[in-house]
Amino acid sequence: MRKSALILAVPLLCAACALDRAPETWLEHARQLSDAAEEAQKRGDRAAAREALLSMLEAPPPSRLNADDARSIRQDVCFRLALVELEDGKPAAALTFAERGLSLGKREDVFCANLHIARGRALEALGRDAEAAKVYHEALKINERLLEQALSTQGDR
């Protein structure tokens, strides 16, 4: 009976080990896809870049990953997808990715500032200049606050 309990316990222990490593595995997979997207963009292969970035976006982060880390990674992916769409002459698709990224949570960080910039570029390309100006202003306000924080931190040293 002990032998059968041990045989049953080994897969459970392996599954537990896999769960413990899930955030690291997801992050490594995200890094590999990010590298693949960057290489594809260098080659001018926007379709391959889009495919790698979409794979990153569709892979749900593990529940044990810090929520803010997951948000920032996914927002960066949305920003990069928006840029690919803008480069491909698809501002409506770019706007969708920028808004999707912002829907993950608005923070006073570079990830949200980048998404506002991408959203502004998409709106501008769609001829919605007044909306674009407001969005650019939001990105500017975030960047100003980030600069003020960086300068105050540097002054404390």
pTM metric for this prediction:
0.81
pLDDT at residue 21, as a whole number? 55
Give me the domains of the chain, ranges plus CATH numbers: 17-155 (1.25.40.10)
- Among residues 119, 124, 114, 40, the alpha carbon closest in space to that of 77 is found at 114
pLDDT at residue 54, as a whole number? 95
pLDDT at residue 157, as a whole number? 63
Which residues of the chain fall below pLDDT 70?
A: 1-21, 155-157
Tokens of 105: 């949570």
pLDDT at residue 38, as a whole number? 93
pLDDT at residue 22, as a whole number? 82
Q: Which residues have C-beta within 8 Å of that of residue 76, sequence separation ≥ 6? A: 111, 114
